[in-house]
Amino acid sequence: MADAQLSRPSYLKYAFKDQHNLVVLFGAACFSLAFASPLPLFAGTGAELLWLLVGPRLPAFRAWVDRRLSSQYLARSESAIEGALGELSERDANRFRALNRNATALLASAQTRLPAPELQLAVHGLLELRRTFLDYLFLGQRVEVLIDPIPNLDREKEAAQLQQSYSAERDLGARMTMRKALSALQHRISEQTALSGVSQKLEHRLEMLEAALSYLRGRLTDPAFGQLATEIDTVLSEVGSAEALELAVDQILEPPPDSVAGLQGASTLRSPI
């Protein structure tokens, strides 16, 4: 819920830019011109200074500014989500839409049970939950492309055969070629095993987020339940962000040390003395 806990806005700025405030100032200036007297302008300026001193401190004005900024932020976020859906596969986009419907149903149930401030926090919490779900869907698409359709069992058989050939071979050049091929094959097996593990974690976390909405909707039936935003925050903490798994994928795809050393050696040989 980091996005719902942004730094407080400058209420003084919004008090000055409020259209009613600007209308009063403009009207005072017009009266001064019409009557050829500075008194209306002085009165308007005095009222303006009083408003700027008192207005930003008023709870009602602060609440109005907060609601306005929240609405603008939510509208931008929803627009960004709609744009992102076009980059997902139809299957994943439909899965997100199903989660979105459940989130909407949860909010509809909460409207009659929670006070307005708690409900507003829940709206932002559910936005973060849906964006987290979307992040995992995008990461899932990336991992799906990286996973080879060839089963690891076939590669392991190939590696075993190559190992036997390597042991029987006596020619040093052929052995060197086999050793490199065996090392690359073993790295590929390790890489695919790790990617499959990431894919399983991804699916588990997606299912956790989907199940959380049903769980939270059931919790709303408890008359004593009133901390929906806190519960959503707890779910997000348990699931975690997609960034950690994305970093794990990047680490899996890093070239093996032998390959890096080989590339560096080749670069050294090509460099002028």
pLDDT tens per residue across span 207-249: 999 999 999 988 888 877 778 889 999 999 999 999 989 999 9
Task: pLDDT band for 135, please (50, 70, 90 cuts).
Answer: very high
Residue 42: the pLDDT is: 60
Q: Measured at the alpha carbon of residue 119, what is the angle toward residues 118 and 122, in degrees to the nearest 5? A: 90
Residue 110: the pLDDT is: 87
pLDDT at 105 over 80: yes
Residue 256: the pLDDT is: 66
Q: Where in the chain are the domains?
A: 10-87, 90-273
Cα gap 38→56, rounded to integer Å:
27
Structure tokens at 48: 């303006």
Of 12 and 161, the one with more pLDDT: 161
User: What Å distances lie between residue 256 and 57, 191, 263, 264, CA to CA?
Assistant: 60, 10, 11, 13
Location of structure tokens 């009557």: 35
* pLDDT mean over 137-165: 80
pLDDT at 101 over 90: yes
Of 204 and 219, the one with more pLDDT: 204
pLDDT at 154 over 90: no
> Minimal CA–CA distance to 154: which of 110, 177, 185, 119?
185
Q: Quote the percentage of the chain above a pLDDT of 70.
A: 68
Task: pLDDT band for 137, please (50, 70, 90 cuts).
Answer: very high
Cα gap 136→191, rounded to integer Å:
20
Residue 273: the pLDDT is: 34
* pLDDT mean over 25-29: 62
pLDDT at 271 over 60: no
Residue 260: the pLDDT is: 44
As a whole number, the mean pLDDT across the chain is: 77
Choose the weakest-confidence range: 85-89, 245-249, 254-258. 254-258
C-beta neighbour count of 256 within 10 angstroms: 15
pLDDT at 70 over 60: yes
Cα gap 60→65, rounded to integer Å:
9
> Minimal CA–CA distance to 199: which of 153, 143, 246?
143
User: What Å distances lie between residue 117 and 98, 163, 172, 222, 223, CA to CA?
Assistant: 27, 66, 75, 19, 18
DSSP string across 240-252: --HHHHHHHHHHH
> Minimal CA–CA distance to 242: which of 213, 212, 269, 209?
209
Of 133 and 31, the one with more pLDDT: 133
Residue 235: the pLDDT is: 93
Give the burial class of 88: count Cβ atoms within 10 A of its Cβ; 0-12 exposed, 13-18 middle, 19 or more buried. middle
pLDDT at 264 over 50: no
CA dihedral 220, 222, 223, 224 (to 10 degrees): -100
**What pTM was computed for the model?**
0.69
Of 5 and 189, the one with more pLDDT: 189
Residue 226: the pLDDT is: 72
Q: What tens digit of pLDDT does each residue of 5-24 get?
A: 445 667 666 665 665 666 65
